[in-house]
Amino acid sequence: MTGSQNAMETRTILRVIVNENDIRKITLHSKPQTLETLMEHLEEKLGLPYKFSLQYEDADFNNALINLTDIADLPERPTLKVISLVPSPTASTADTDIVSLSSEEGSSHVRQAQWPETFEVPNFPVDIEFRLRQGNLLYMRDQTYMQVPRDMKHEILEKLAECMYSFKAYPSDDDFNDVASSLVKKHPCLTEPGSSTGWNGWKNSLKFKMGNYRTKLRRAGCTDVLINVGKRGGQDPLRSVKRPKHFEINFLPNYPAGEDECSMESKRLQLVEEMKKCHPSSTLISQNMDSTFSLRRKEIVEIESPVKETLQRWPSLFTERQINAEFVRITSKNLKQDFFTALDQHTARFLKIFETKKGAVGKRLSEFLDQIKLKGTDITANRTAVLRGLPLLLGEETSDFFKATLDCDCDIPQISIGILTVITEGSQDSSQALHLENSHTAIILEGAIVMDNIENLPDAMWLLFGLIYALNLEYPPQLKNTFDFIQRVFLSLGHKSLKPKLQSLKNMLLM
């Protein structure tokens, strides 16, 4: 057998459906050995800039689409369908001009990435880049600073504002510091002599330019800035400023191209009917939840619908899969995966810290340690102990958040937000009991149970965290530091600078 014949036998040919109007033939030089390898090849060959999953046509079910979860299920010459895990994937707006919202490119402004660790200064128009290169050469030769003309400064600031908006509509002071310092680092000829940092003037100019940029976007109809327009032309002033609370990147997106409130309302009603079935279609639910994301955010953020009403209108939002998917839509992060990865990474160190604590807090933590020792190396027991002990390390009282009740008791604790553990009769009902056996948990929001029969407390904790983002809620006041710690340290959502109490605990974890 020749080498060419061997290559023919080992290569894999795929029919890939990216969307209705984009169906491609993909040839791989060898058969992928894992699902991850297959997805990496497809991401590269298709140029997909977003997270996705795959479905395949299964001959056992008349070629109906089935989720691909194991590479062994992949048939010969398969037909695959790409399922986006973010709503309406679009190219970044960093390299485009502000356009009318009637065009497809500018209609949704869905962001797909958090603010970067290191801000990358974009390329400017060709003439500006040429002048900057000449200025940098002069600076390197004899330390000559560039006198920036007004038109050139306008172009630079406009492009930077556009790039910043591709990550967030309301950058913080630290963000402006990042951009200004990165600009001067890349183009040292723009350094401002006499400035304490070399870029203070650029920072201040960026702040003004960003304000002007938002004004243009309001006139164009971008909802995430239009909602904060305030009193204009006789309108009533807004009751409060509505901006991202917890570093959301898609806080209030515009409707997708080709969609309006009526078309999305029709899909919402489909979702409600589908959730009434014994076995609802996860594919239909995922597709409709993606396409109705902007309608849902409008109700939750702008109208501020009560949780009870949201539960009735969007029942699929209160499921594990869609809580995780909504978190991806809002932040571009996989909540469940990142939460448990960070929790498990720090568990051993947390338990060591528990052992060193003294006083009243140390006594309560030692009770947790005694209970998990009886379970050996049970991962759920260790996770539960850490999540119950974390607030104590941060000086917070948990009695109004973690509640327990007997399964024969129909009364719901009178709290606005918390986790309820339902235990069987005869179980230990002490406030310090972790309830590791014969129990399940529920989530309480606005005084009502919104999710029940959750297997354990760690699962309830990440689901509640996701619901806070999905429903645009405040963190529970009694555990504000705990949830802030989970957000910033576990999930890396937010700036590196932490409050002293949070920074102290983070330092202890990294020792």
- Condensed to tens digits (0 to 9), the pLDDT of residues 436-492 reads 876 789 999 999 999 999 999 999 999 999 999 999 999 999 999 999 999 999 999
Tokens of 151: 């038109």
**Residue partners of 88: CB distance under 8 A and separation at least 6:** 108, 110, 256, 257, 290, 291
User: What secondary structure, in 3-state letters, does 215-281 show?
Assistant: HHHHHHCCHHHHCCCCCCCCCCCCCCCCCCCCCCCCCCCCCCCCCCHHHHHHHHHHHHHHHCCCCCC
Q: Return the DSSP state at 167.
A: T
The total number of residues shown for the chain amounts to: 511
**Among 1.10.3330.10, 3.10.20.90, 3.10.110.10, 3.40.50.300, what is the CATH number of 3-84?**
3.10.20.90
Nearest partner of 245 among 300, 310, 319, judged by Cα = 300
Per-residue pLDDT in tens (0 to 9) along the chain, 511 residues: 444 444 445 678 899 998 877 788 888 878 888 887 888 788 777 766 667 889 999 888 888 888 898 888 888 889 999 888 755 433 333 333 333 333 333 334 578 788 988 899 999 999 999 999 999 999 999 999 999 999 999 999 999 999 999 999 999 999 999 999 999 999 999 999 988 999 999 999 999 999 999 999 988 888 888 888 754 444 454 456 788 989 999 999 999 888 899 999 999 999 999 999 999 999 999 999 999 999 999 999 999 999 999 999 999 999 999 999 999 999 999 999 999 999 999 999 999 999 999 999 999 999 999 999 887 778 999 999 999 999 999 999 999 999 988 876 667 888 899 999 988 776 555 556 788 876 789 999 999 999 999 999 999 999 999 999 999 999 999 999 999 999 999 999 987 789 999 999 999 998 8
User: What are the E-state strand segments in 350-493?
Assistant: 402-406, 417-423, 439-445, 448-454
Q: Is 93 helix (H, G, I), strand (E, B) or coil?
A: helix
Tokens of 26: 């993909």
**Residue partners of 94: CB distance under 8 A and separation at least 6:** 122, 162, 163, 166
Q: Are the C-beta atoms of residues 212 and 156 closer than 8 Å to each other?
A: no
CB count, 10 Å around CB of 436? 18
Type and span of the H or E element at 212: helix 200-220
What is the pLDDT at residue 412? 80
CA distance 247 to 243: 9
Tokens of 250: 């898609």
What is the residue extent of each domain of the chain?
3-84, 115-226, 348-509
What is the pLDDT at residue 240? 66
Type and span of the H or E element at 368: helix 359-373
C-alpha distance from residue 258 to each of 108, 262, 264, 302 (Å): 10, 11, 10, 22
Nearest partner of 398 among 423, 422, 364, judged by Cα = 364
Regarding beta strands 439-445 and 417-423, do their DSSP bridges make them parallel or antiparallel, or are they unpaired?
antiparallel
